[in-house]
Amino acid sequence: MVRTWPDHADQASARMMPCMTPEEFRVAGHVLVDWIADHRRRIPDLPVASRVSPGEVAAGVAEVAPEHPEPLAQVLADLDRVVVPGVTQTQSPDFFGWFPSNASLASVLGDLASGGLGALGITWASAPALTEVEEVVTDWLRDLTGLSAAWRGAIHDTASSACLVALLAAREQAGGLHGGAPLVVYASTQAHSSVDKAAILAGYDRRYVRYIEVDEAYALRPDALAAAIAADVAEGRRPAAIVASVGTTGTTAVDPVASIVQIAARYGVWVHVDAAMAGAALLLPEMRWLGDGVEGADSFSWNPHKWLGTILDTSLLYVRDPGALVRVMSSDPSYLRSATDGQVTQYRDWGIPLGRRFRALKLWFHLRLDGVAAIRARLRRDLDNARWLAAQVIDEPGWDVVAPVVLQTVCVRHAPVPELGGDALDRHTLDWAARVNDSGLAFVTPSLLDGGWMVRVSIGAESTERHHVHALWQLMRDAAAGRAMGSRPEGRSFSAS
């Protein structure tokens, strides 16, 4: 047994072993797991935003691949020296940027198990467990989020891919690209940019991707949608798909899905519901209203790799009729045929890739090792924290909450004097957000709303407790008032203990 491998790379190269043995992996794996545990423990002390300049990380990495094995200790030292400073710490309790991007350690173990199994998902027969555990865990989450048993789920890499797949199915349901008149896709002005991208990739003409006006809560206006569809039909175009957002990226607005599906039904239009971040909230019975109307849609996606906390890449796509996917994406090469065809799910026909990873293990480990009760408690904690922060902001002179706080995101603006507006207000907003982010003590995201900059505080990192939100609120006020602020030192001296 070669127990000393990580520190004796010379021996490995000398004996001409082409690859790591299981025993060597055992030793190295323990060291790496220790490194991960140490790293996670120290994240709260690291600057939240990465401060590296473009090219700095690449300059710190060898220009050519090593001819001979290197010691693990050297690779880990480079992780500390080059990689850690080049990562914005989304697992930090002080991360309030973009959206929660949790990577629960339970799901990291599932990812490791998936890699360790090295299963190849190209057909049910190549790894029956890969397909069947995926069927089971997508059913678990279907039931946990209150969807009916009419839905079948699959795991995709991202919500962007899920939307593309949905729009491909919608395209064919509407008669395909070569069916004559142009096909039209509808979404709100607040829909995620991935909708536009998916529509173009699916072959729709950008001129016929319609962005429908929103109401004062930034939710799609059904009357405007109905009018747009009627106008397209009157002019001979073919409405093909509506993408409804449940929890927009900007403000977590919720489109009225129930009204949207009614309008869609009049014209036989496919409805895809994008709940990328917000879907996790459906685990809470009191938040089930977010899913009102979804049962009437054709496809529904959300990302456990956001707020729920299953490590990237874990995006769920549910459809009521898998046949709509299979009709577009099935392939039947002779080398993949087996006696079980026709009796089993062939996930390759439900999406674009042939070879699929055993992603279901990430969810399986996450849900089994953390348990649903703890996840629910954490989601509720985050909703409470958002309500608390919104209340502080509203009570503070000069500060404003600029969009309804539906979930865990609080959109704020600060005006040092009431008359400040336009470019000057934008400059002030970008300036105080940059002061917060440059301090390394927290990270928030400025974003445009109604043509002006505001700051999104997206609460929901696994480790964020009330006192972290409290500290952020103090930091925001200090930054906006131009007061002195502390800062978190560079993370470069970090090394595993």
Position 167 contacts ligand PLP (CB under 6 A): no
Rounded distance between C-alpha atoms, residue 201 and residue 178, angstroms: 16
Position 300 contacts ligand PLP (CB under 6 A): no
- Applying the rule CB under 6 A, the residues between 310 and 329 that interact with ligand PLP are 315
Name the minimum Å distance from CB 290 to ligand PLP.
13
Position 159 contacts ligand PLP (CB under 6 A): yes
Please tell me the total number of residues recorded for the chain in this structure: 497
Please give the size of the binding site for ligand PLP, defined by CB under 6 A.
14
Position 303 contacts ligand PLP (CB under 6 A): yes
Residue type, 154: A
Rounded distance between C-alpha atoms, residue 132 and residue 126, angstroms: 12
Residue 138 contacts residue 176 (beta carbons within 8 Å): no
Strand partners, 183: 238
Position 409 contacts ligand PLP (CB under 6 A): no
Among 91, 123, 173, 245, binds ligand PLP (CB under 6 A): 245
DSSP 234-271: HTT-EEEEEEEEBS-TTT--B--HHHHHHHHHHHT-EE
Strand partners, 456: 411, 445
* Strand (E) or helix (H) holding 135: helix 128-144
320 three-state secondary structure: coil
Among 130, 241, 254, 276, binds ligand PLP (CB under 6 A): 276
Residues 340-379: x where in contact with ligand PLP by CB under 6 A, - otherwise, as a string: ----------------------------------------
Position 407 contacts ligand PLP (CB under 6 A): no
Contacts of 257 (CB under 8 A, 6+ apart): 244, 246, 271, 273, 291, 292, 293, 294, 296, 297
Strand partners, 121: 356
Among 274, 298, 382, 462, binds ligand PLP (CB under 6 A): 274
9 versus 225: smaller Cβ distance to ligand PLP: 225
Position 272 contacts ligand PLP (CB under 6 A): no
Name the minimum Å distance from CB 158 to ligand PLP.
3
Position 99 contacts ligand PLP (CB under 6 A): yes
Position 101 contacts ligand PLP (CB under 6 A): no
Rounded distance between C-alpha atoms, residue 61 and residue 80, angstroms: 12
Position 249 contacts ligand PLP (CB under 6 A): yes
Position 277 contacts ligand PLP (CB under 6 A): yes
Binding site for ligand PLP (CB under 6 A): 99, 158-160, 192, 194, 245, 248-249, 274, 276-277, 303, 315
